[in-house]
Every structure is written in structure tokens, then in C-alpha cells.
Amino acid sequence: MPMNTPTILLYNLDNPRGAKIRRMCLSLRLRTALVPRESYGLPLGALAEGAVPETPYSGDGFDDEMLLIVNCPGPLLDLFLQAFRRQKLAPVRLKAVLTPTNRDWTSQQLWQELRREHQAMQERGIRKIALGHHYDDAVETFYMSLIFEGRLSCFQPVTYLSRTDITQIRPLLYCGENLVRHTARRLSLPVVENPCPANGNTKRQEIKELIYELQGRYPGLKSRVFGSMQRLPLPEWGPVEHRRRPLPEEIGE
């Protein structure tokens, strides 16, 4: 398969539930592939490129459902995860994004690592995970849903995952991208670059450039779009009582 194609690899989902997930992916133009047990010995990077083992894997396997997400930009990944809720499908508990760190692992090694992570979270009583989506991410995702899917949609500020008893929060939603960037520079915070080979050349980047152009022509556009998501409101987007600090671009700085 083409190396930059957004792809979802499915484990132990060769069943009716898996068929529903694959149809859901098709609607998002996500390529899917079922990973058979005989391929568990291949490196994940090779699996993502469509490699076939010369000798079938004969070691230990696993029966848990698992997803490996390949070359999937952030907004598309958000839409994929939201689609489970829209389709009323229980989420797949074990899932990971292909990265330079894990691309040389086997499927068995990835499964073991994900199981260890979930077990550690349960033992330590971790019930909340903070994600890094910011103000500009929300506006861009809204535009992506509108232009590419014909829907008024965005990720939710707070998402409860009932299957894992984990709540996902996005505490940076009132912070613009420039504020996040400048704060990281001022505090000398470590910055992890996006390993995706398509970074900077995606539909997300197209939307970012479109919004930049429109914001120049129609000052305040982003704040009005953000406010419209609260005023509709989109699910879980109802405004809170306190007022956020205006972004610099909103006050002409």
C-alpha cells in the first residue's frame, strides 16, 4: 500500500463488529487491513507497508481486539474516534499510533506494551488523561468536518470512555497555537516533532492556510467560529460560566 496512505490495521476483528468498523473507516476514506496471526512476527513498519511474512509466525498470540493507526493526521484521527460514538460502537480498548519508536516492534510486543500501560493506569488509579488539542485545532477540525464531510462537528472538550473508565480532557482549548508555541519557547519545554512523513502536507495544513487567509480578510473569524460551536451547541460544547482571556489576535496585538 502507498506509504503515506492513512490506514487502520485491525487485529482479531474478522467478525461482524470488525465489518462495521471497516465500513465506518470507508466513509472516512481510511484504508483498512486485517492482520492475520501468521503476520504477528513482522515489524509493525513492514506490516504498515503491506509486507507478507516468508515464514508464518508460530509463537504466542493474543485474542484482544487491537488497532494500529498509520499515517493518520490529528483531525482525521479525531473524526475516526468520534465515529465510534456516532455509530454507537464500543471503542477498541487497545490501540496505538505507528511511530519511529514502535515501528520495529512486532504485533506481540505492541500488545504486551499496551496491556502493561493499561494495567499500570489501573494500579495507580489514573482515571483522567489530558490531551494537547488547542483553540486553533478546534477551529480547524470544525472546518475539516464541514468541508470534507458536510457535517457540523468537532471533538468534545471532555470525553468519558466507559469501557476503560477513563475521562479525556482538553485543557488547552482556550489557548491559541501561538500562545502554546511561545510558552513552550519561554519555558524551554521539550517539543516532540510530528513523525508523520506527510506532516505539513495534509488536508489539515490546507485548512490551516485557508483559515489564515480568511482571518486576514475577516478579522475575528476564528473567535466567531469557536463561539458558534458553543452556541449551537455541539455535543458537550455548551459555554462555561467563566470568561476566557481574549487571544492576542482578538484584541489587535
**pTM recorded for the entire structure:** 0.63
> Which pLDDT does position 4 carry in this prediction?
73
| 3-class SS letters over the chain | CCCCCCEEEEECCCCHHHHHHHHHHHHCCCEEEECCHHHCCCEHHHHHCCCCCCCCCCCCCCCCCEEEEECCCHHHHHHHHHHHHHCCCCCCCEEEECCCCCCCCEHHHHHHHHHHHHHHHHHCCCCEEECCCCHHHHHHHHHHHHHHHCCCCCCCCEEEECCCCEEEECCCCCCCHHHHHHHHHHCCCCCCCCCCCCCCCCHHHHHHHHHHHHHHHCCCHHHHHHHHHHHCCCCCCCCCCCCCCCCHHHCCC
Q: Using 50, 70 and 90 to split pLDDT, how confident is the model at 219? A: very high
pLDDT (0 to 100) of residue 158: 87
pLDDT value for 35: 95
The confidence score (pLDDT) of residue 187 equals 94
